[in-house]
Chains A and B, each alone.
Chain A
Amino acid sequence: MKRDMVTIDANEAVAYVAYRLNEVIAIYPITPSSGMGEFSDEWSAKGIPNLWGTVPLVVEMQSEGGAAGAVHGALQTGSLTTTFTASQGLLLMIPNMYKIAGELTPAVIHVSARTVATHALSIFGDHSDVMATRQTGFALLASRSAQEAHDMALISQAATLKSRVPFLHFFDGFRTSAEVNKIEQLTADDLRAMIDERLIAEHRARALTPDRPALRGTAQNPDVFFQARETVNPFYAKTPAIVQEVMDQFAKVAGRSYHLFDYAGAADAERVVILMASGAETAEETAHYLVNQGEKVGVITVRLYRPFSVEHLMKALPATVKTIAVLDRTKEPGAAGEPLYQDVITACNEALAQGIAPFKTMPRIVGGRYGLSSKEFTPAMVKAVFDELKQANPRNHFTIGINDDVSHTSLAYDPHFSIEADDVVRCLFFGLGADGTVGANKNSIKIIGEETNFGAQGYFVYDSKKSGQVTISHLRFGPRPIRAPYLIGENNANFVACHQFTFLERVDMLKYAKPGGVFLLNSIYGPDEVWDHLPREVQEDIIRKQLRFYVIDGYKVAERTGMGGRVNTIMQTCFFAISNVLPKDEAIAQIKKMILKTYGKRGEAVVQQNYNAVDQSLEHLLEVKVPGKVTSQITRRPAVPEDAPEFVKNVLGPITAFAGDSLPVSAFPLDGTFPTGTSQWEKRNIALEIPVWEPDLCIQCGKCAFVCPHAVIRMKVYDPKHLENAPATFKSIDAKFRELPGTKFTIQVAPEDCTGCALCVEACPAKDKTNVSRKAINMADQLPLREPERANWEFFLELPEVDRTALAFNTVKNSQVLQPLFEFSGACGGCGETPYLKLITQLFGDRMVVANATGCSSIYGGNLPTTPWSFNKDGRGPAWSNSLFEDNAEFGLGMRLTLDKQEEFARDLLPQMAAELGETLVNELLNADQSNEAGLASQRERVALLKQKLAVSKDPRAFMLASVADSLVRKSVWIIGGDGWAYDIGYGGLDHVLASGRNVNILVLDTEVYSNTGGQASKSTPRAAVAKFAAKGKGMPKKDLGMIAMAYGYVYVAKVAMGANDLQTLRAFIEADAYAGPSLVIAYSHCIAHGIDMRKGLDQQRLAVQSGIWPLYRYNPALIDEGKNPLLLDSKDPTVSVEDYAYNETRYRMLLQSDEARAELLMKSAVEDVRKRWELYKQMAAIQYGAPEKTE
């Protein structure tokens, strides 16, 4: 049978099968499994049927727990049902997994295995999530590669129907889920051949129906629960055999043979490594290599981990085995060993006892950990494990792949050991996120995979930023299938391409180049002039490794062909031209074919633009005649400046420079606690243009600083005497601050931290009277400004901060002289969320504690290497933590409870010690007015004095009081997260925290989608907008979270959009903090996922308000006591149409383009949603509170 060869990642490979074999699919986004849900939703929206001709119903739930509940319910009523998840999501499914298994329900959950958050969150892969489910009763089946994941998706579905034991099918997150590889795609006939439809009928026959009423899910007592629980044993006993039977059947159908435990290596192996998933592929390839060199080694790949079949493991192990290393990709602190290790020991012991072991004496079995959070697992590491097994006393409980200089668990390995074959071509591409490099490489791999007989593989590495990111593409192709689930190592790349010239200063990329290889550089300098513009280190490597060196001015070609900054197609064309993987003309034809396939439906103009780029590329591709000597005066710059703090230099610096793998265990904090204020050291220089201040036009309104998402544009008011040593180009004018006469004023830009988003320019209201295009802030090229403005910035930082007691901060202007304690985040350029965060740190940063839900804000806020959360000169600043996605409100409430309890305790102790501490001090401490900055400052002084007194006190209560004394200074607890958290997964907790009446401030950064995971719909997504998981346009209206919160009557609620009304935003924040109960501020946050020109984000906010889509209001319960209506509408009756707002955004427009009739239908309803809600608000705001006025 002819099957298609497709080049796809495992998420797509698995979804392809799962979608076709199920009817109901409950989904929820979580990295790295989201892709499976996204494919399913898209296919369902397109009307693609499953194997039986019906289009699966794909439903997004509010959490993975919800998805599991829906799966359970759908199964109970007889559907073929699946879901996809990972990590914390899988943990949330555990309760239902027990139920589904306990009820012997056939189903498969597909998991792209990911690290469970501990001391830190990690989106990357290991088995800690899967291992946490091994007690649920689910069968656990592992895949090593995209092909296997494709196959096992089918095998698991067939096996669950046969065994009635539910399956969790897993494969390594990212390494497998996101690796693009060439696979043979199963056909509908293959699927049909494997699925016994009678078993589906049996499943349906067991379904709950009033036509055959039954009760399932009883409560049982001690008398019977135990016995009833043991009824399932025969099913588990049969499952391994059933799985093998299905695998054998699959081998007949598809030709690929699998076993529960697959052995590979020498028949007489003495040393055996046992492991699961992608690492097993690496280990197997390495074993083959070593066996060819005469070593007696072998590898066992565990496929069916639960139910664990001792019998099948024994059949797989060679009788000659003497030592076994069991490798676990998880960590169980405090356990006798990691789970697979323990299982193997148990198995061997039991087998020996039962006489079914192939060996007579117990082999020496050791366990080791590898690959946590997608840590590289390479042939060199496998070899080190085999070598260790040669030792008389091989180390047990070892680690491999890191340098553990604390507990000394790690095995040493030779990083230069390689098993890469000479006939495989390995290519590395260093691109900028925005330049399309990864997409082009995915296309290249598809071309090679699908248009040649070569095996092909692509894997893509990203840094943690959302703007100015570095992407590294690892491509391999060769005459055999590529089975190398690890990165291309040093001296191994035949081809290295640098798509952004400036990376040469930041990244040591030529260390990967193989001697005699090719280096392609995107360069504005031609072949005759480029040499002297290269850093010395690059020149040295080119000469030493005798690289063939090519340049292309991709920027020029991109500009000429209208490609903007996207050099992807251009560089791709050059790659094919140089690599000769295909004859040139054929390659060009294939690139064009792929362009048409990828972009064709977006219109002829797009296709032609890319065709032009292809056609113009080759004539600009030129080989450089490499001079024989190093001439450059430029050296690669350090990742962080020399004057950075030690920790930043020694730990964060290497991480920034892509050398984090080299850091030893001892480099890291014990408990995941990191210093703040570190983003200032990462001078990323990603802006091509930066704002320049024109003092003569400036009206000192503060709007530019207010909206700056990156805190790179700052204002200071200061005494003129400080200007004495100002740099020559430092600008200053007389300050227009009534409260600060005789002072000077400066707006200064941080040139190396700016992203060039230009929101400040958009916000600036001051225009030149003779030329309105000139504002008080204008964009200009960064390069010529970099050095002088760096000096100006450094001088500016040394100027004193404003005295917080000298000004009231209830105006936009005044608020912006406050120091931001959230700066230089890696958020998208022009991010709509970060200006709000910056503002709260300006207002309350020196006394705030932050609970941050997982999402964009936790990633740009807390993803290593650096953090934008910072501190002031007194060392005070926001204390920040991220617990989980789902529990953030509760997490923040816990913080409040501590502060309240400690304050209460301190207030209890103070009067008790009044005699010693002084009545006056105690009274002042207890009755301090902390409603303003002066009051706060005084209280801090009193607390300092209190601590001094307590330090010398002999009273046994003094120590306790000293430890809680800081709680006497008012703290502001901020619970921050996106709409995915607040409206969906965390809503239950958020609701409870609001209901608690406690003094917490909740800030919802509402982008109306799950932005961080790529724009999936939440209940905040408005009607008529397209989002992932709402590919047909969201049919239901946006949930009115504010209205729900207002219903409590004692919750402060505000809806804000700073682009529409900055003063209202400021007031809302101040009032939220001041209100002694719970506060909820819902902030319109324009987002890259809206598909807008981010520079116009503020305009969109304005239109959102003017159209009534986003009414501004403040609901302040404190007003009720004054007899006033608590609801104050801060926006007016709509003046522009909803369409005029919505159709500026791709999320709405693409529905209009794709399905006009549905778009019109939904838009009509959306308009009505807006009208009805506005009318309701107006009525609420008009209600008479307090006593009615007396009439004559």
Chain B
Amino acid sequence: MPDLSTTYLGLHLKNPIVASASPLSKKVETVKKMEDAGIGAVVMYSLFEEQITHESLALHHYLERGTESHAEAQTYFPDLEKYNVGPEKYLELVQALKAAVQIPVIGSLNGVSVGGWVDYAKKIEQAGADALELNIYNIPTRMDVPAADVEQEYIDLVTEVRKQVKIPLAVKLGAQFTALPNFISRLAAAGANGVVLFNRFIQPDLDIETLEVVPHLKLSTSDELRLPLRWVAILYGRLKADLALTGGVHTTEDLVKSILAGASVAMIASEFIAKGMGRISELVSELDKWLTEYEYKSVKQMRGSMSQQNVGDPTAFERANYMKALTSYDNRKW
């Protein structure tokens, strides 16, 4: 029987299937179900500092608006005992999850201010999270901000959080960096124990009827796998940090590819959201079956075996890949 266990961020996982940050982790019962189905670890949904601030200010705005303005209506809402608009709800969930499940629970954080990042990171650590995923992103729209500045902000942030918390840190990144290997190596040097490739952002859509920009969230498909797959393959073995692959992992084949490319874990959400927790146990048993069938002893054995370092033609992950694709089209018989 092959050994499916893996190590990610220094944590021992019984298998490389990790639930990526998504609404699935909002309830203890769901996480418990995932554990029962055999998930290796769970990354919680992100604590968004911006959202906390926004919720708080919005609540305040609407509770205050129109008050003390009219003799008959001093206020428009009752004064409730509490409002869970701070991080408390999230932190309570961390605690509850830690109490309810045995698998590693990885917190996830998106901050706005350096103070916010550090403060909330410490709180998540204190709440008992086994590790923390820093969900860092900004959409750099300014013409006068060079890439180096954007990258430096990330580095500074990781450095600052690293100083303040002891639990392992992973950094979840978007794909659009000019010199990803260099950037990621700097992140690792700044204290990141792992990187998660890649974040899928909500991409706005245009409604051509109303002529409005509308948010559009779609679940991933296996087609999306190849982008993170390439970068995991390129980065494997060249970093002190672990690699997590996310975005497009749906099938056992996707999972196998992720590991062959070098991922310590494959993070999945869309598949579970679309098809339910039953997919977890299916993937675990199918992975087991695959390893058995192809006579792999363990996940560790296969991990990175098809990374750029370990394939016969390393340039396959570079420009030639594109050339080859064109050639393959040319060879088709129409």
| A1153→B85 contact, CB < 8 A | yes
| A606→B55 contact, CB < 8 A | no
A41–B71 Cα gap in the complex (Å)?
20
> Which residues of B62-93 are within 8 A (CB) of A?
62-86, 89
> Which residues of A291-343 are within 8 A (CB) of B?
none
Shortest CB-to-CB span from B86 to chain A, Å, is 5
Measured as residues with beta carbon below 8 angstroms from the partner, the interface class of chain B is 35 or more
Given A604-B56, A606-B57: A469 in contact with B69 (beta carbons within 8 A): yes
A218–B324 Cα gap in the complex (Å)?
101
> Taking the complex as formed, is B127 at the interface, i.e. its CB lies under 8 A from any CB of chain A?
no
> Closest residue of chain B to A1029, judged by CB?
B78
> Taking the complex as formed, is A639 at the interface, i.e. its CB lies under 8 A from any CB of chain B?
no
> Hey, which chain B residues are within 8 Å of A742, CB to CB?
none
Given A469-B69, A602-B63, A859-B72: A1027 in contact with B82 (beta carbons within 8 A): no
> Taking the complex as formed, is A544 at the interface, i.e. its CB lies under 8 A from any CB of chain B?
no
A922–B82 Cα gap in the complex (Å)?
72
> Taking the complex as formed, is A1154 at the interface, i.e. its CB lies under 8 A from any CB of chain B?
yes
> Taking the complex as formed, is A477 at the interface, i.e. its CB lies under 8 A from any CB of chain B?
no
> Which residues of A777-810 are within 8 A (CB) of B?
none
> Which residues of A32-80 are within 8 A (CB) of B?
32, 34-35, 38, 41-42, 45-46
> Taking the complex as formed, is B60 at the interface, i.e. its CB lies under 8 A from any CB of chain A?
yes
> Taking the complex as formed, is A460 at the interface, i.e. its CB lies under 8 A from any CB of chain B?
yes
Given A471-B68, A602-B63, A1011-B73: A1026 in contact with B57 (beta carbons within 8 A): no
| A602→B60 contact, CB < 8 A | yes
> Hey, which chain B residues are within 8 Å of A35, CB to CB?
74
| B83→A1153 contact, CB < 8 A | yes
> Hey, which chain B residues are within 8 Å of A437, CB to CB?
68
Interface residues contributed by chain A, number (CB under 8 Å): 63
Shortest CB-to-CB span from B171 to chain A, Å, is 25
| A439→B67 contact, CB < 8 A | yes
| A45→B80 contact, CB < 8 A | yes
> Which residues of A192-229 are within 8 A (CB) of B?
none
| B77→A828 contact, CB < 8 A | no
> Which residues of B209-242 are within 8 A (CB) of A?
211-212
A34–B79 Cα gap in the complex (Å)?
14
| B211→A1014 contact, CB < 8 A | no
> Hey, which chain B residues are within 8 Å of A1091, CB to CB?
62-63, 65, 76-77
> Closest residue of chain B to A1156, judged by CB?
B84
> Closest residue of chain B to A441, judged by CB?
B68
| B78→A45 contact, CB < 8 A | yes
> Taking the complex as formed, is B59 at the interface, i.e. its CB lies under 8 A from any CB of chain A?
yes
| A601→B82 contact, CB < 8 A | yes
Partner of B83, one of A124, A471, A601, A772: A601
> Closest residue of chain B to A1015, judged by CB?
B76
> Which residues of A976-1035 are within 8 A (CB) of B?
1011-1015, 1026-1031
| B57→A42 contact, CB < 8 A | no
| B70→A433 contact, CB < 8 A | yes
> Taking the complex as formed, is A434 at the interface, i.e. its CB lies under 8 A from any CB of chain B?
yes
Interface string of A1111-1140 (1 = CB under 8 A from B): 000000000000000000000000000000
> Hey, which chain B residues are within 8 Å of A124, CB to CB?
71
Partner of A174, one of B60, B71, B212: B71
> Taking the complex as formed, is A703 at the interface, i.e. its CB lies under 8 A from any CB of chain B?
no
> Hey, which chain A residues are within 8 Å of B212, CB to CB?
772
| B78→A603 contact, CB < 8 A | no
Interface string of A11-36 (1 = CB under 8 A from B): 00000000000000000000110110
Interface string of B24-61 (1 = CB under 8 A from A): 00000000000000000000000000001101111111
| B68→A436 contact, CB < 8 A | yes
> Hey, which chain A residues are within 8 Å of B81, CB to CB?
45-46, 601, 1154
A904–B234 Cα gap in the complex (Å)?
94
> Hey, which chain A residues are within 8 Å of B70, CB to CB?
433, 462, 465-466, 469
| A462→B80 contact, CB < 8 A | no
> Hey, which chain A residues are within 8 Å of B68, CB to CB?
433, 436-439, 442, 460, 471
> Closest residue of chain A to B119, judged by CB?
A604
Partner of A603, one of B55, B62, B69, B75: B55
A552–B75 Cα gap in the complex (Å)?
28
> Hey, which chain B residues are within 8 Å of A564, CB to CB?
61
A45–B77 Cα gap in the complex (Å)?
13
Shortest CB-to-CB span from A283 to chain B, Å, is 25
| B72→A603 contact, CB < 8 A | no
> Hey, which chain A residues are within 8 Å of B61, CB to CB?
564
| B84→A1154 contact, CB < 8 A | yes
Given A46-B81, A434-B65, A1031-B78: A31 in contact with B72 (beta carbons within 8 A): yes
> Hey, which chain A residues are within 8 Å of B86, CB to CB?
603-604
Given A1091-B76, A1154-B84: A462 in contact with B69 (beta carbons within 8 A): yes
Given A42-B79, A1015-B73: A609 in contact with B59 (beta carbons within 8 A): no
Given A603-B85, A1150-B83: A1026 in contact with B64 (beta carbons within 8 A): no
> Closest residue of chain A to B212, judged by CB?
A772
> Taking the complex as formed, is A1067 at the interface, i.e. its CB lies under 8 A from any CB of chain B?
no
| B77→A1013 contact, CB < 8 A | no
| B78→A42 contact, CB < 8 A | yes
| B56→A605 contact, CB < 8 A | yes
| A1089→B84 contact, CB < 8 A | no
> Closest residue of chain B to A562, judged by CB?
B57
A1006–B84 Cα gap in the complex (Å)?
30
Partner of A1146, one of B62, B71, B73: B62
A442–B76 Cα gap in the complex (Å)?
17
Shortest CB-to-CB span from B78 to chain A, Å, is 4
Please indicate which of the listed interface residues B69, B81, B89 has the most CB atoms of chain A within 10 Å of its own CB.
Answer: B69
> Hey, which chain B residues are within 8 Å of A164, CB to CB?
none
A465–B72 Cα gap in the complex (Å)?
11
| B57→A123 contact, CB < 8 A | no
A515–B78 Cα gap in the complex (Å)?
43
| B52→A603 contact, CB < 8 A | yes
> Taking the complex as formed, is A499 at the interface, i.e. its CB lies under 8 A from any CB of chain B?
no
| B77→A1147 contact, CB < 8 A | yes
> Closest residue of chain B to A775, judged by CB?
B211
> Closest residue of chain A to B72, judged by CB?
A31
Shortest CB-to-CB span from B245 to chain A, Å, is 32
| B67→A38 contact, CB < 8 A | no
Shortest CB-to-CB span from B110 to chain A, Å, is 15
> Taking the complex as formed, is A566 at the interface, i.e. its CB lies under 8 A from any CB of chain B?
yes
> Taking the complex as formed, is A767 at the interface, i.e. its CB lies under 8 A from any CB of chain B?
yes
> Hey, which chain B residues are within 8 Å of A1029, CB to CB?
78
> Taking the complex as formed, is A658 at the interface, i.e. its CB lies under 8 A from any CB of chain B?
no
Please indicate which of the listed interface residues A433, A438, A605 has the most CB atoms of chain B within 10 Å of its own CB.
Answer: A605
A1147–B78 Cα gap in the complex (Å)?
10
A1156–B73 Cα gap in the complex (Å)?
27
> Taking the complex as formed, is A482 at the interface, i.e. its CB lies under 8 A from any CB of chain B?
no
Given A603-B52, A604-B86, A1015-B77: A1088 in contact with B60 (beta carbons within 8 A): no
A1031–B55 Cα gap in the complex (Å)?
20
A1029–B83 Cα gap in the complex (Å)?
18
Given A599-B60, A605-B52: A31 in contact with B77 (beta carbons within 8 A): no
| A605→B76 contact, CB < 8 A | no
> Hey, which chain B residues are within 8 Å of A46, CB to CB?
81
A1164–B69 Cα gap in the complex (Å)?
35
Shortest CB-to-CB span from B72 to chain A, Å, is 4
> Hey, which chain B residues are within 8 Å of A434, CB to CB?
65-66, 69
> Hey, which chain B residues are within 8 Å of A1092, CB to CB?
62
Given A1088-B66, A1146-B63, A1150-B59: A1013 in contact with B72 (beta carbons within 8 A): yes
| B65→A1088 contact, CB < 8 A | yes
| B77→A603 contact, CB < 8 A | no
**17 A–B contacts, CB within 8 A, in A order:** A31-B72, A35-B74, A42-B80, A178-B74, A469-B69, A469-B70, A564-B61, A602-B85, A609-B57, A1012-B72, A1013-B73, A1014-B72, A1026-B80, A1028-B75, A1028-B76, A1146-B63, A1153-B85
Q: A1091-B76, A1146-B63 are in contact. List 5 more A-B contacts (CB 8 A).
A: A31-B72, A602-B63, A604-B56, A1088-B76, A1089-B77
Q: Which 4 A-B pairs have the closest CB atoms?
A: A603-B56, A433-B69, A438-B68, A1014-B73
